[in-house]
Amino acid sequence: MRMWFKIIIFAYGFLVESGYADELDTCSLAAKGSPHFPANFSFGVATAAFQIEGGWNEDGKGPSVWDDFVHDHPQLIDDRTNGDVAVDSYHRFDQDLAALKELKVNFYRFSISWARIFPTGDVSSKNQKGIDYYNEIIDKLIANGIQPMVTMFHYDLPAEVQKNGGFLNSKIINQFASYAKELYKLFGDRVKTWVTLNQPLLYCRSSYGYGFYPPQYLNAGVDDYICMENSLKAHAVAYHTYRTQFYKKQRGKIGMAILSKFFYSKTNEQDAIELGLQFALGFQAHPLFAKSGGYPEVVASNIAKNSLKEGFNKTRLPMFDEKWRKLIKGSADFLGLNYYTSAFITRAKDKSKVLKPSWENDRDCDESVDPNWKIAKSPWLLCVPQGLEGLLKYIRDEYNNVEVIILENGWSDEENVEDNGRISFIKSHLQAILNAINDGCNVTGYTYWSLIDAFEWVRGFTTRFGLFSVDLSSENKKRSPRKSAGFYRNVIETKMIPDKI
């Protein structure tokens, strides 16, 4: 008896200390204020072209860097799957549409494969069949009361564009803007929400700094920063092209998708929290939304300081001149936020193991996680809903309460249909958004990643994020609703979070 008593006291103390005394499920969040989403709040789901379409070389489509990568390096994909067929959405959009209708979503975020409509990347190489495919998607969505939200670039750069250096060549700026301009011409009469680039810091670091993604360059702390410079410039030119040439008639809005965690400190190191936020959110959002524009001061100064220490004769971070700083500043109508997880952060202790130069070394911090946080199938994905609330409040205070649309948020598991873990994740993150809205944050939409199971890049199909599972072995790649699909539909119908699931 005594022993049990001690264990209970110990466990209770532990829970109190970690802040979860009355909340045994760490993937949950208490409500603050009204349980209702504003009437104009919209709900959607997302996918991306390479991850679902397949039809990789059909009807005149050109190859993308990801087609080449999965063909040249099948061993780098966990289950050796690829995007050749993926879940065959190129032939099965009607099945996706049925799933969207079942969810009753307000909008569908999907991406356009640049090389499907411009096989070489150049707008002179028009492929009508690719254009027809996206026209059909857009028209069918609208006919069913679902707003199309289009991502212009979600990693699948045309292989021909990569041959010229991709995002390392400043030619990408006008190439991307010309592509964007064609998209406005082709689809802008019906598409009213555009997302230029998906998570530039992630693809720049993965593609050019670490080689996890094509073109597998390994020049951390240098080429990833050049990629960021060209990405932000390309975004800004695409934005201004719309505002000056199309906005008057088309009246849409344009943003960029920014991935960030929120950060906590066990030892109250405010400087570490600030470094964490500025090297993630700030690296991408500060140039667009901060009053001063340009990169955050701590990002610029840390990189400059390290560069000189490492023997470079100037900073490795390409700094925007006055013209570009002004052009990029304000070049977005909303902040697109991709939020998955958060971390604890401290100033770096042992710097000997960190690659130099690199973004990690420039940030000069170490991350860790709370062992109580619930973990998804993806080892990097821990359920930290309070982090989303924290990040939204930080954005409110830092960027003048700019409109925020959550463009991605999702949970991975196995092929199971009884996905209670996903329901807890969605429920707690919607609660975080509602709490933030009740505290004055300007959040207008939520997008769950993903509608259906998708090819998750180098993880292949080993991690599943879909509200609908896809039976890859079935001939028609059958989509079946998981339990979470019913939960999400209920939220969308009632515009509130149900007590019980």
Binding site for ligand NAG (CB under 6 A): 38, 40, 313, 401-403, 442, 444
Query: Please, what is the minimum distance in Å from the beta carbon of residue 310 to ligand NAG?
Result: 11
- Residue 174 or residue 444: which is nearer to ligand NAG going by CB? 444
Q: How far is the CB of 39 from ligand NAG (least distance, A)?
A: 6
Q: Which two tokens stand for residue 216?
A: 């597998």
Least distance from C-beta 434 to ligand NAG, angstroms? 12
CB closer to ligand NAG out of 166 and 255: 255
Q: Which of residues 117 and 222 has its CB atom nearest to ligand NAG in the complex? A: 222
Determine how many CB atoms are found less than 10 A away from the CB of residue 128.
Answer: 11
Specify the DSSP element, H or E, that contains 393: helix 385-398
Q: Which is nearer to ligand NAG, 41 or 210 (CB)?
A: 41
Which two three-digit tokens encode residue 198? 């998906």
Backbone angles phi, psi at 476, to 5 degrees: -95, 15
- For ligand NAG, the closer of residues 36 and 374 by Cβ is 36
Q: In the complex with ligand NAG, which residue's Cβ is closer, 177 or 332?
A: 332
Q: Specify the pairing of strand 343-347 against strand 365-368.
A: antiparallel
For residues 40 and 244, which CB has a smaller minimum distance to ligand NAG in the complex?
40
Amino acid sitting at position 264: Y
- Whose CA is closest to 202, among 231, 171, 169? 231
Residue-wise burial string across 257-275, b where 16 or more C-beta atoms lie within 10 A, e elsewhere: bbbbbbbbbeeebeebbbb
DSSP-derived secondary structure for 398-451: HTTT--EEEEE----B-S-S--HHHHHHHHHHHHHHHHHHHTT--EEEEEEE-S
Considering the complex, state which of residue 18 and residue 438 has its C-beta at the smaller distance from ligand NAG.
438
- Residue 442 C-beta: closest distance to ligand NAG, Å: 4
Closer by beta carbon to ligand NAG, 258 or else 384: 258
Amino acid at the residue 117:
I
What is the distance between the alpha carbons of residues 138 and 131, in angstroms, rounded to a whole number?
11
Rg of the chain over CA atoms, in angstroms?
22
* Minimum separation from the CB atom of position 392 to ligand NAG (A): 12
Amino acid at 272: A
Q: Please, are residues 382 and 375 in contact by the beta-carbon 8 Å criterion? A: yes
Q: Where are the beta strands (DSSP E) in 376-422?
A: 404-408
Measured from the CB atom, is 271 or 403 closer to ligand NAG?
A: 403
The DSSP line for 162-182 is HHTTGGGSTHHHHHHHHHHHH
Encoding tokens for residue 286? 């500060």
- Measure the N-to-C terminal CA separation of the chain; round to a whole number of Å: 37
Instruction: Give residue 217's Cα distance to chain centre.
Output: 22
Q: What's the min distance (Å) between Cβ of 444 and ligand NAG?
A: 6
Q: How far apart are CB 26 and ligand NAG at their closest, in Å?
A: 31
CA distance 42 to 457: 28
Cβ closest to ligand NAG, residue 57 vs residue 400 = 400
For the bound state, the minimum distance from the C-beta of residue 307 to ligand NAG, rounded and expressed in Å, comes to 10
CB of 332 to ligand NAG, least distance (A): 9
Shortest separation between residue 40's beta carbon and ligand NAG, angstroms = 4
| Cβ-contact 287, 328 below 8 angstroms | yes
- Identify the CA nearest to 399 among candidates 310, 286, 499, 492: 286
What residue spans of 315-384 are helical by DSSP H?
322-328, 359-363
Q: How many CB atoms lie within 10 A of CB 443?
A: 24
Report in angstroms how near the CB of residue 496 gets to ligand NAG at its nearest. Answer: 13
Closest approach of ligand NAG to the CB of residue 222, in Å: 10
Q: Considering beta carbons, is residue 164 or 401 the nearer one to ligand NAG?
A: 401
Question: Could you give the CA distance from residue 141 to residue 97 in angstroms, rounded to a whole number?
Answer: 7
Closer residue to ligand NAG in complex, CB, 144/444? 444
Helix (H) or strand (E) holding 336: strand 334-338
CB of 23 to ligand NAG, least distance (A): 29
State the burial class of residue 76 (Cβ atoms within 10 Å of its Cβ: 0-12, 13-18, 19+). Answer: middle
Q: Cα(236)–Cα(245) distance, rounded to whole angstroms?
A: 14
